[in-house]
Structures are given as C-alpha cells and as structure tokens.
C-alpha cells in the first residue's frame, strides 16, 4: 500500500532527504547534480512511500517570475520522479495533485520546466505551454534563455497571462529553468 505525505524541507530528516536525492538520481540516470538537488529544497515536498521505501518525490518551491511588468510569486515544481517499477499507476498524478493544491493556495501561478517525455503529462493536468520567449534575470542583466523555449509550462491562476509574451525567471546557480 502506498502513502503520500507532504512536508516542508525543514520538517524532513536527513535520511528522508538522502532517500529523495537517491531516488531522483536513479530516476534521472545519474543526471542530477548538486544544483539540481538544491533547486528542490526550501519548499513543500510530496513524498510517496510504499512501506518504508520511497518510490516517488516532487517538490514546489517559491520563485519570482517577471511578466508584463509584474513580479509574480510562482510555485515552481522541481524534482518530480517515480521509481521505474512503479510508473503508470497514478503516482505522479497523486504527487502533482498535492503540489497543485499548495500552488493554488499560496502563489500567483505555477511553473515548471518539463522534460520532453513529461510534457503530455503536465498538459493533461491543465498546465499550459509557454509560447513566448524566455529569459533569466542574471547578475549581469536580463539574458535570453532560448534553449528553454518550448519546455516551460505554467498553471494560470489569479494573474492574467499572455502565453505569447516574455517570461523571465529569477537567478539561481545551475539550470535557470
């Protein structure tokens, strides 16, 4: 039997955080570095357990996105993964449902950078593909992030969005989106 738990990073012990990182390293075939892991910290985690074994993880953290002259509080989804032998059983949907509840209650919009094989999953949940140009507010000013165009999804909530307008994310080390 599976159990979904949500908790803030501050409420998770070291073994749980280590299990989450190990799960993500497995899910992404080792293609996760310290920056990727750091991006998943500081917010709310959805953790899916089967007994004492962690089989799924997702997190939502706060970021600032700039759009149409406005700085918006975004619930940014990071570190979504389900162990390979537990996929296609609704576990990803259960974790996203928990995080979307947090996003709807605390943020102006949701946002995430989707891997190609996950795009249909997010679109099916009502997330919208950002059609406009993307940028990042870097220490040297706004810089275009054209390589991310076509990978960014948003969950529109309270703020009017022009999906064809420019969307700029705040600065962070590692992958910007």
Q: Does 147 map to a domain? A: yes
Which of 61-83 are b and which e, b meaning 16 or more Cβ less than 10 Å from the residue's Cβ? bebebbbeeeebebbbbbbbbbb
Q: Does 176 map to a domain? A: no
Predicted confidence at residue 30, as pLDDT, reads: 83
- In the structure encoding, which two tokens stand for residue 129, read together? 């593909």
Predicted confidence at residue 84, as pLDDT, reads: 86
Q: Which residues form the domain of 99?
A: 2-169
Closest to 177 (Cα-Cα) out of 17, 39, 55: 39
Residue 167 to residue 63: CA distance in whole angstroms:
13
pLDDT in tens, the chain (177 residues): 899 999 999 999 999 999 999 999 999 998 899 999 999 999 999 999 999 999 999 999 999 999 999 999 999 999 999 998 988 898 999 999 999 999 999 999 999 999 888 999 999 999 999 999 999 999 999 999 999 999 999 999 989 999 999 999 999 999 999
Q: How many domains does the chain have?
A: 1
Q: Does 177 map to a domain? A: no
Predicted confidence at residue 119, as pLDDT, reads: 94
CATH number at residue 26: 3.40.630.30
What are the beta bridge partners of residue 60? Answer: 44, 77
Which of 118-132 are b and which e, b meaning 16 or more Cβ less than 10 Å from the residue's Cβ? beebbeeeebbebee
Q: Does 53 map to a domain? A: yes
Residue 117 to residue 19: CA distance in whole angstroms:
24
Predicted confidence at residue 117, as pLDDT, reads: 86
What are the beta bridge partners of residue 64? Answer: 73
Please say whether the beta carbons of 56 and 47 come within 8 A.
Answer: yes
Q: Does 40 map to a domain? A: yes
Q: Does 174 map to a domain? A: no
Residue 107 to residue 1: CA distance in whole angstroms:
32
Q: Does 15 map to a domain? A: yes
pTM here is 0.95
The alpha-carbon radius of gyration of the chain (Å, integer) is 16
């Amino acid at each position: 039997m599976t159990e979904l738990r949500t908790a803030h990073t501050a409420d998770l012990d070291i073994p749980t955080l280590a299990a989450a990182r190990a799960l993500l390293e497995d899910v992404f075939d080792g293609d996760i570095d310290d920056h990727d892991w750091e991006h998943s910290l500081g917010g709310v985690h959805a953790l899916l357990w089967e007994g004492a074994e962690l089989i799924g993880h997702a997190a939502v953290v706060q970021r600032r996105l700039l759009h149409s002259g406005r700085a918006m509080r975004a619930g940014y989804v990071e570190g979504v993964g389900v162990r390979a032998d537990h996929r296609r059983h609704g576990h990803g949907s259960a974790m996203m449902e928990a995080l979307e509840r947090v996003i709807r209650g605390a943020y102006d919009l949701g946002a995430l950078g989707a891997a190609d094989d996950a795009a249909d999953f997010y679109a099916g949940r009502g997330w919208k593909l950002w059609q406009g140009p993307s940028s990042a507010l870097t220490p040297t000013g706004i810089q275009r992030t054209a390589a991310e165009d076509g990978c960014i999804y948003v969950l529109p909530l309270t703020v009017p969005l022009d999906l064809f307008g420019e969307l700029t994310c705040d600065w962070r080390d590692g992958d910007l989106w």
